[in-house]
Structure 1
Amino acid sequence: MTTDSTGLRIGTAPDSWGVWFADDPRQIPWQRFLDEVVSAGYTWIELGPYGYLPTDPHQLQDELGSRGLKLSAGTVFTGLHKGGDQYQRAWDQALAVAGLATAVGAEHLVVIPDLWRSDATEEVLESRTLDDEQWARLAAGHDRLGKALLEEFGVRQQFHSHADSHVGTQREVERFLTETDGRYTNLCLDTGHLAYYLGDPLRLIGAYPERIGYLHLKQVDRDILAETLKNDVPFATAVARGVMTEPPTGEPPFAPIIEAVSAIDPSIFAIVEQDMYGTDIDRPLPIARRTREHIFGCTRLARQD
């Protein structure tokens, strides 16, 4: 295995072990998750849902440090298109998550928009699309949040487009980037979620290279995706059916994306995040090992540290 010191830093996340919620009896215990990350060969991880890993920064640092692990980012959830008290809701999360993440060295906050269809109950919560006023609130809210995160914590906001959210298609992602300020709001390019709506990560990278701040690596199964879109299957059900599949069996290929982003900025993180909520807890570790081997075998522009 040959790597290049200028390549992207490769890591993984609780999501690749089926973790979507801070507390769910079906999920793998956090201690076992951390141990299996090490066994799979990764150094970098994300925080996952706040409260899954220890929230005391000293305990978290001890748990990570004793295993040789490091934190790349935390995650918050926002509904800034709704206005009202949504900015305060986002900021309250940010105070907790960014405070914890930066205390152990992370420099990024992945921000996921609220879904129009619940990933917990599959209930339709609101319209699938935003009007111009909602788009304006969404963009202004994220720029305000990103500016505050940078000034308060020195952490960078990375917006994550998502299936069953208002920012999912390539056109929607491009509109979001056009209406936001790159000083405060950039993109966590999730290859699987963009491909979920038939987007092209390489074309997006080529069109907006200065806005790519972070990567999530995942692939979609083309056949399951076709049925998902045809039958309007909720995202959570699609995940249970395996729409996010083990690399390299799905799309898009990782090597061209890693190499294109590495040419922009080799300090960017590329975090494996295979949605596997509801999976048997013994299943993720072998997949994580094979995925890491695939990534480091398909490109020289990948590194562990």
Structure 2
Amino acid sequence: MLTFAARRVLVSLGLVWLVASLVFLMIHLIPGDPAELLLSQGGIAPDPASVQELRERLGLNEPLFSQYITYMSGLLRGDFGVSLQDEHPIAEEIALRLPRTLELVGAAGVISLVFGIPFGVMAALRAGSPLDRALSTIAGLALSIPVFVVGTVALLVLAQELKWVSAGGYVPFARDPGRHISLLLMPACTIAVGLGAVVFRVMRSSVLEVLEREHVRAAQARGVSPAVIIRRHVVRNAMTPVVTVVGLHLGSLLGGTVLVEYVFNWPGLSGYLVRSVEARDYPEVMGIVLVVSVLFVLLNFCVDLLYAVIDPRVRHG
């Protein structure tokens, strides 16, 4: 297990370095002068003196290799530079907003697993029954409805009409834990609707496939209790594709919760990215893209470790 984990750590570190290098090259792949593009407003050419000043601030006048060394050394110190809008350190803003997005995505992942896995097992064990058809229909509807529609309808019905929940916003957990959780549940459940449907369908298909394996049929022939077969032989083996799907979807959600954060006024990282793109604050965009990409790599590393725990054969693959 330690050898497997060490190999995955080395691969992940290599991917992090590659991502950081690609993010650095982004600014140099833009056609034309990046500083001039950043300062252009409404198609009007910026002042040459301002362009030169910005080039100096971004270090664009230095040789490419020197810029790369400066950039990588800054990342090792946790320095992402400063915002072009207000000179505020980008690392501080990311550190403030990233936990909020992670909390939102993590809560959505837990909710989707809590509902998707048991309902997927139930549907597979009763394949073709009215329960299976009903659950599959609900999952299909959940997948077909865009997330912003789910969020908007939830706000209209639960917040404005029934007055059961607040319409959105954010309160730090340390200030008011109950209020924080109540504001978190709505956007988390909105994300979990689609993700839970995916988990349900993958779990159902995986359980059906495992039920046909020889070791399961052998256990049934020996008279092993159905509950024991499901718990020890079916669910554990069926979890591998679910881990894959959840890991990939959670990684994409790290930078894809823009609409949900906007609808529920949740001040996370996605809203910060939209603001940075609109303001053409390229250092901010680079910092956010790098952080999200690194988190995606780390999430895949965690998924690989879960593979090894669920299926020991992966360690020797």
TM-score category by the smaller chain?
Answer: under 0.3
Using structure 1 for the length normalisation, give the TM-score. 0.27
Q: Larger Rg: 1 or 2? A: 2
> TM-score if structure 2 supplies the norm length?
0.26
Q: Which of the two has greater strand per residue?
A: 1
Greater share of helix: 2
